[in-house]
Structure 1
């Protein structure tokens, strides 16, 4: 029987831990037999998990005998992973064990060097950190999960469910995976990625020299702003402004402005029943067509689809 070892690192996110335990533990073959043997492995018999303490069924030595290892995220992924866990993951990978991560568990895999030269994803709030700290990893911030064969990574929370069902489908076929998806009351295939959930250019910035001009853009994004307007506000030349924006935000000034406008439009779609023409105008876009184009490019769905998913109430057509 295929053995899945779910790693329980210190400060593990309980949702990430529970997802693979539930999906693999409840998966059944067509004749009713369990599809997997599921273990929970940790460094110590008791593992701290936020406000909880969890008892685990096996130690790290069990990872060597597992067919698949699932690595959940930790509440504070900036804390270094215990060396014993990194060593155990490297040894398992060297032995050909399939390893998957949920949410910011991808940072643990990256820390172990298992994502070097690979494409990977993680929760959108951590994609910047992973790209910065692990430049040998090709980070895809928009997808729900990435399958690199022997190493798989998923985005935040619910995307871990998508990844686990994907693994069931790989191991035992569509029929077994479909049955597991019905038990989980979730689609077997979920279209799109995590782009609609990403907060674009939030008003709190991790920057110093541009803080004043970013705040000004936040307040004036609805206006017909030009690059020269922004440079004048920053008391600098257009060339210097472009350089500073790229250095501190990774975007051009106009790209940042568009991101702010899209975020404002998202807020309006969530909280009002205004039509697309009014929202385009309020957010600062030149036309509804221009608004729809930029919105779909950055969010991955149309304004109408976004409102259907996130809106408190559905009103005029978007």
Structure 2
């Protein structure tokens, strides 16, 4: 399991320390093959977090937690213009020498820059500190936008919402864009179902547009319903299912039966089902239904298409059928989802206050 070590230096904003755990845990919770171990490691001289609501930190990890980490993350912190605390530079140089990734969030880039590892490379920091970083470290090509930047094994970003932008960037590198997009959606909209709160659809409902759903749903199946949306429709990198899932995605607007999918995969129905369950945690038709919902989500997020057109394009048939499946899988309606997502995206960043790391 890949280890993510978050180095807490004194005065680090609390959300810089909690955001990585939340983001990587969300990715793992909603995607069957994804797994991470996140360690918050107290650096030399760490006393507590910075404002506006400082708190103490009790962690079993100190600098030794970096020794075998696959990725080391440097949050922002107080006194970032000063030389790093003793031992920090050596630990970062050792991590880079053994091939670990090193990421910096916001003013954490100043600490990484102090090692010399960013000389001759591109890097990012919080927008209001870009000119200062360029002045103090003229050999670094500073991205003025603060977008997530990768240059070799070194990654940096402005630190939106405590570094969620950088964490999603790393998840993209590890597991692909689809996993990162779905992680972002789950993280910000909190639409994941609780255990046991599944869809309860009969298996054939995923294979064809259903009739208009009634206003009140009936009782839910106990175990199949719980599994219905336990995982998102994402196959592991290099999965043997990738060819058939790409075909399914390209044909969502057509009625697809279990036999159609098995024929495309050149497998028997039972073999296909076993392989889907082993690699995705879902049956083929559960996976197909989840693909249809995810496609509807993307259309709601990125287009102004009416619900009727989205229902047709996603293969869910009618607006009523789309609303029925969407409500049961996400807990909200398509219209509310579209409004909420766009409001969150438009307000994702805010002006930094003077004195923030």
TM bucket, shorter chain: 0.5 to 0.7
1:24 Cα offset (Å): 1.2
In structure 2, relative to structure 1, the CA distance for the partners of 1:96 and 1:309 (3 Å cut) is closer
The alignment status of 1:48 with 2:51, answered yes or no, reads: no
Q: Which residue of 2 aligns with 1:28?
A: 28
Query: 2:24 aligns to what SS in structure 1?
Result: helix
The alignment status of 1:184 with 2:163, answered yes or no, reads: no
User: What's the RMSD between the two structures over aligned residues?
Assistant: 2.6
Q: Which residue of 1 aligns with 2:199?
A: none
The alignment status of 1:157 with 2:152, answered yes or no, reads: no
1:69 Cα offset (Å): 0.8
In 1, Cα distance between the equivalents of 2:108 and 2:175? 25
Query: 1:55 aligns to what SS in structure 2?
Result: coil
TM-score (norm 1): 0.55
In 2, Cα distance between the equivalents of 1:49 and 1:116? 29
Q: Which residue of 2 aligns with 1:171?
A: 174
Structure 2 matches for 1:1-318, cutoff 5 A? 1-28=1-28, 32=32, 35-43=35-43, 47-50=47-50, 51-158=54-161, 160-185=163-188
In 1, Cα distance between the equivalents of 2:115 and 2:40? 20
In 2, Cα distance between the equivalents of 1:175 and 1:34? 12
Query: 2:149 aligns to what SS in structure 1?
Result: strand
1:56 Cα offset (Å): 2.1
In 2, Cα distance between the equivalents of 1:44 and 1:116? 25
1:70 Cα offset (Å): 0.8
TM-score (norm 2): 0.49
1:136 Cα offset (Å): 1.1
Query: 1:90 aligns to what SS in structure 2?
Result: helix
Query: 1:100 aligns to what SS in structure 2?
Result: strand
Moved over 6 A (4+): 307-310
Give CA-to-partner distance per residue, 1:6-43, whole Å, 9 cap, x none: 11111112122221121112322776365201111123
CA contact (8 A) 1:46 1:53 kept: no
In structure 2, relative to structure 1, the CA distance for the partners of 1:79 and 1:148 (3 Å cut) is same
The number of aligned residues is 190
1:99 Cα offset (Å): 0.5
1:66 Cα offset (Å): 0.6
Give CA-to-partner distance per residue, 1:207-231, whole Å, 9 cap, x none: xxxxxxxxxxxxxxxxxxxxxxxxx
In 2, Cα distance between the equivalents of 1:14 and 1:75? 12
Give CA-to-partner distance per residue, 1:210-267, whole Å, 9 cap, x none: xxxxxxxxxxxxxxxxxxxxxxxxxxxxxxxxxxxxxxxxxxxxxxxxxxxxxxxxxx
CA contact (8 A) 2:149 2:155 kept: yes
In structure 2, relative to structure 1, the CA distance for the partners of 1:73 and 1:31 (3 Å cut) is closer
In structure 2, relative to structure 1, the CA distance for the partners of 1:45 and 1:83 (3 Å cut) is closer
In structure 2, relative to structure 1, the CA distance for the partners of 1:47 and 1:33 (3 Å cut) is farther
The gaps in structure 2 that reach 5 residues or longer are: 190-345, 350-357
